[in-house]
Chains A and B, each alone.
Chain A
Amino acid sequence: MLTDALRMVSLSDTGMVRDLNEDSVALRPELGVAVLADGMGGYNAGEVASGMAVSTIADGLVQDWNSEALLTLDHNAAIRLSQSVLQTQIKAANAAIHAAAQNDAQCEGMGTTLVACLFYDNFLTVGHLGDSRLYRLRGEIFEQITRDHSMLQEQIDAGMISKENAHLSNNRNLITRALGVVPEEEAEMHSYEVRADDLFLICSDGLHGMIDEAQIADTLTMLRANLNMAAQQLVQAANDAGGKDNVSVILVRVMKSFAAMR
């Protein structure tokens, strides 16, 4: 049972500066699904966009990610199917958000970042757009798994800024890809093998933009036994550092192997 193998918690906070929380999160632990979105747009359009993203994708997976059909597939076929099913939901979410933006002046141009994770058969498939991130703590190694779609990342890739100096950049809020802003869009999609004791963190830039990765890694290492406390500590640390944006986290701890029963 996935709910025995995967422990999931989420926490989303408006932060210390913003009036509205335009981040959204959705968990479907029984299906191994975790989705986070950080919305943008005028008025409360960000909230609309991110809310549509997580509910369309989570509900879509509940419909289409059929574990019985999966039993006939081998490991690699299951990986391929997970990518295709997840991408289908993401494209549908993009279309829905884009259409809603066209129909409502207050939602014009709205969009959202996205990190959508699907855990199955000891692998994880993740689709992402924008600068919300997936990290993994495995043993003592804490690693950023997704690569930001942002101006800042392009500058780092081009050698213009070092990662250490990234916090000095004034381009931190510029992302290059998002969900809902163009008529057709798909996420960057990858699959990774997952081991028992892995701890995954999905977060919006309200976290990684306020506290450094060393502090995130230490917090997860020391509080892994209590995911709720770890989530609260991360959000608190971001708020103590200024809380300049909405901050949301999802933590997924792999308690044991979750090989598919074939």
Chain B
Amino acid sequence: MAKLILSFENTVLKTIPLDKERITIGRRPDNDIQIDNLAVSGLHAVITTIVNDSVIEDHQSTNGTIVNGQTVQKHMLQHNDVIELGKHKLRFLSDAPAYQDYAKTVVIRKPGTAEATVRAADVPTVLPPAAPAAPAAAPAAPAAAHAPVREATLQVLSGAAVGRVLELNKSLTTIGKAGVQVVAFTRRPVGYFVAQVEGEQPALFNGEPLGEHPRQLNDQDTVEIAGTKMRFVYK
């Protein structure tokens, strides 16, 4: 269960579990989290929790609700977010498992009452994700995948547009004439690739026919599309 750590001027006052769908925060004693400070409005903000999501919403408070230094109207709380109300702070600690991203789909009943509980009988028996080590190992791939891609361009070597430089800054760029000859350049974490999308006549890759199977581009490779020659160049 997610929870909040309430503190005032760096002193931790208490831990509050988010055990209800709706948790009110304010100066009045009838709030779930009462903060007895004039900077806090009678009813200042509300945190609504639906299963693994908690959203904080300001309730027209006088001094506003601030999350991580920014005033917010409505904000989906992420692990370690800090909510400021006057001089009090609430740190949000999520309990969504680290492998949440890898969690398999489950069927959940629509909430009949205010609480959206997942009834064990209704949930397919789901094994933990493929070996607990997997989430630790898997991020290595995405981390490498998100390493910055080297910038590259196409320099037009012939034809009417000779001298023009085209930036390959999108994940997919198509060049050519629809219905005649079209070539696709893909920009992926592992490099740039080129393939022929359509056209009876083959486009050329370093002078050889380019097929539908993507070919990896190396610095200075040439591509000829509908008679126009281009050079692939890393910036």
- Complex Cα distance A40/B101, Å? 16
Say which residue of B125, B141, B197 sits within 8 Å of A223 (CB atoms): B197
A contacts with B, residue count (CB < 8 A) = 52
The CA of A92 and the CA of B197, in the complex, are separated in Å by: 41
CA distance A228 to B186 in the complex (A): 15
Question: Are B127 and A43 in touch, CB under 8 angstroms?
Answer: yes
Complex: A168 Cα to B100 Cα, angstroms? 11
Q: Which residues of B contact A109 (CB under 8 A)?
A: 122-125
A interface residues, Cβ below 8 angstroms from B:
16-19, 38, 40-43, 45-46, 108-111, 113, 130-131, 151, 154-155, 160-161, 165, 168-171, 173-178, 181, 205, 215, 218-219, 222-223, 225-226, 228-229, 233, 236-237, 240-242, 244
User: Does A41 contact B172, Cβ atoms closer than 8 Å?
Assistant: no
Instruction: Choose one: B103, B107, B123; the contact of A177 (CB below 8 Å).
Output: B107
Name the distance in Å between A79's Cβ and chain B's nearest Cβ.
29
Number of contacts between A and B (CB, 8 Å)? 139
CA distance A118 to B192 in the complex (A): 38
Contact A244 B101, beta carbon cutoff 8 Å: yes
Q: How far is the CA of A98 from the CA of B142 in the complex (A)?
A: 37
Q: Does B169 contact A (CB under 8 A)?
A: no
Question: Which residue of A131, A170, A215, A244 contacts B52 across the interface (Cβ within 8 Å)?
Answer: A170
Chain B 58-76 residues near chain A, CB threshold 8 A: 76
A38 to B108, CA, bound (A): 16
Q: Which residues of A contact B130 (CB under 8 A)?
A: 17-19
Mask for B139-157, Cβ within 8 A of A = 1, else 0?
0011001000000000000
